[in-house]
Structures are given as structure tokens and as C-alpha cells.
Structure 1
């Protein structure tokens, strides 16, 4: 005896073209469920490990300090002085703190798909460049000044504003007035991590040559230079 289900008419998947669309414009049903590309954790780990290795060698990576400590270190510095520190925001790894014409400020650094870029609320944000590591990002912004929005740059971890922050006037609502020109000019080294003479030597070589492999350098020195291929 046939079950009630076998008595129901079978219905083939509809291949009809929706009204107003030409044949071929609709993707086959199986294409709508295509699997997204797999996340590669190995690539992420290599990128993060390489980045922090470069930062540890730089001398201007200050590690886990607060926004108040970073701004205090930059308060008496000249415009364009900067350092990089761990971000106190749980969704970010790193923050760039810089002395601007308005005083010290901090800009979070985003990380996505093995690339680093500044976290900006500017309308030009989609056009911001991304970099494989933070030293490359810093080196790029040591060129001509570039405007970023100042509304979302501060870390949000401090529960009580400092006396200095309370005395500062609120940021203007006008997008043009709220922007700050980012000029990175001089790294601020932490006192216990001032670069060695060897590191300063390879910085000098990198600043004066884009192709150190063409210089008559001993192989060990050339390898040491390539381990930190930056000018800052």
C-alpha cells in the first residue's frame, strides 16, 4: 500500500525567469549557496608575529601604556612626534599617538586580512591605504600631511576624563573643522628601549639606499639590514 506521501505530485524546481528579466540573468540555485573563502589563521599569525617583531626592534613601540601616559610623553615634544602603543580598546591591537598642532592625540590602527590601516571617520576613509605592517604605515605618513577625522581617534577605555581633557573645548561638528592634519616627523623612543648602534646604522643605510643589496656590504650585515627594511 502506498504511503500518503507517494500520492502527492512531485514538483520540479522552477526554471521560470522572473518578469522583466532576460533569460540567463538569474544565477542557478546552487550558486546562491556558494561557500565563502576559508579564513587562513596561519597567514594572520605570520603577519601579526612579523609586525610585532619589527615593532620591538623599532624602539618607538611603547607596549601597554595608557592614553594618559602616551600623551604625557608627547606633551612637550614638537609637532609630528609619535609613538605606537597597545590599544586599550578591546577590538584593536595598536594605537598611534602623535603630537599635533592641537596637542597630543591618538588614532587607533585597524587590522583586517593581514593588513593595517588607520581608523578614520573621514569621508575619504575608503581610500585610505593599508599596509602589511605598522612600520610601513608609519613610514607612509611621514610624507606629506594627510587629514584624518579627530572625532573617533581617542581610546574609550578611560572612565573619567582628566583635568586637561575637561578644560578642552568640545570638538566642532563641522567635518572640515574636526579634521586634523597628520604629520609624522620624529619617533619618540622609550627610555629603556633606545635603539642600539647597530640598529641606527641600518636605519642610516635604509634612508640612503632603496636597494641595500647592491651595496658592497658583508653578507651578515646585509641580512641584518633586510631584517628591518624601514627608514624609521
Structure 2
């Protein structure tokens, strides 16, 4: 998981997320990441890292060569998210393109995500991924979660979210504990 400082950033999952407590600039320890620009950016990154941690396709500080080696023999469009080694960028999208594995910086500006070189912006990283999965170019097709089979719980969670949608989780006739589990990763990707 990405660590921007020594503070634990826990975000509650009782429906829409509560703001994370973000560190003041003076308490941020030295990392390869730039300091947060403001509270809003801190909350966005904290929430995104939390979701990515539960996605199965977030590989953390994986370098570009290792990412490309992992993707080289996989089907076209297979992708993963990793930490960027560039000082002013948090994440990188690596995917298997027709010409071979490719990596693109995931930029964050004014509370929105975009791919480097793209004019399309999204308030959520997973909205960006859904857009490129559904695009006619089919640049992205499926996430790479490694060789370990996914647990039945993970598969069921994605199926429930796909069937009912993220916005319907609070209305589902299930226990509070199950709703909390769904909120840990409320996406079908």
C-alpha cells in the first residue's frame, strides 16, 4: 500500500465515505511522492489507495520493467495499477497493448483523474478504468490480479456490485457487516 507518511489513513465505509484525516505538510515524511496540494487531494488519494488495495490489481511499488515482464505474455488489454516512480505522479497504469506492454501516467488535477495525453477527466480512478474498458478501441479489457485464484468472497462482491450498482449498496436487504464488506470495494472491475 502507498504510504505517504506515518499516519494511518482509515476511511469508514458506512455508505458514502467520511473524509480522511490528512497530515499537515510539516508532518509528511520523505517519500518519492510529492506532498498533497490540499485536503481534497489527500482525501481523494487516500480513498483511491483504499479502494485499490481491495481491487487485487494494485501492485504498489512495482517498477516498470517488472510490470512489463508480467504483462508481456498476457492477453491484449490486460492491465494493472502500480505506484509511479515519477516524483510528481502517484499512480501509473501499465497494460498490454498490441505493440507490447505500455505504461501511462495517471494524472490528478483539480480533483479529477486522467491519463497523460488525454483530455478525458474522471472524478474517480475506477470511472476512468470503466471508460477505457468500454471504449471502442478496447485499450483495456481485464485487470491482472496475478496467478493466485480470486476468493469466492471477492468474486461475489464484484458480482453483487455489478448486478445492483454502487449506488444501491445502502438499500440492499443485507446485514450491516455485509454492506461494509461491499463498500470496501464497490466496483465490478
On whether the aligned pair clears a TM of 0.5, the verdict is yes
Q: Pick from 122, 147, 152: which aligns with 1:197?
A: 152
Which stretches in structure 1 are left out of the alignment for 5+ residues? Answer: 1-38, 146-180
- 1:118 and 2:83 correspond: no
Q: Which residue of 2 aligns with 1:87?
A: 84
Matched, 1:221 2:178: yes
Give 4+ residue runs of structure 1 displaced > 4 Å after superposition.
none
**2:86 is the counterpart of 1:130:** no
Rg comparison, structure with higher value: 1
2:143 corresponds in structure 1 to: 187
Alignment map for 1:139-218 (pairs within 5 Å): 139-145=130-136, 181=137, 183-190=139-146, 195-210=150-165, 211-218=168-175
Gaps of 5+ in 2: 1-35
Conserved? CA contact 2:112–2:121, under 8 Å: no
Which residue does the alignment assign to 2:7? none
Q: Output the CA distance in 2 between the equivalents of 1:212 and 1:91.
A: 35
Residue of 99, 102, 123 corresponding to 1:102: 99
Q: What is the SS of the residue equivalent to 2:133?
A: coil
Cα distance change on mapping 1:91 and 1:204 into 2, 3 Å:
same
Q: TM-score of the superposition, structure 1-length normalised?
A: 0.59
Q: CA deviation at 1:213?
A: 3.8
Give the distance between the partners of 2:58 and 2:76, measured in 1 at CA.
18
SS where residue 99 of structure 1 aligns? strand
The Cα of 1:191 is off from its aligned counterpart by 5.1
Secondary structure, aligned partner of 2:140? coil
Contact 2:78 2:140 in 1 (8 A): yes
Residue aligning to 1:159: none
CA shift in 2, pair 1:63/1:40, >3 Å: closer
CA contact (8 A) 1:139 1:230 kept: no
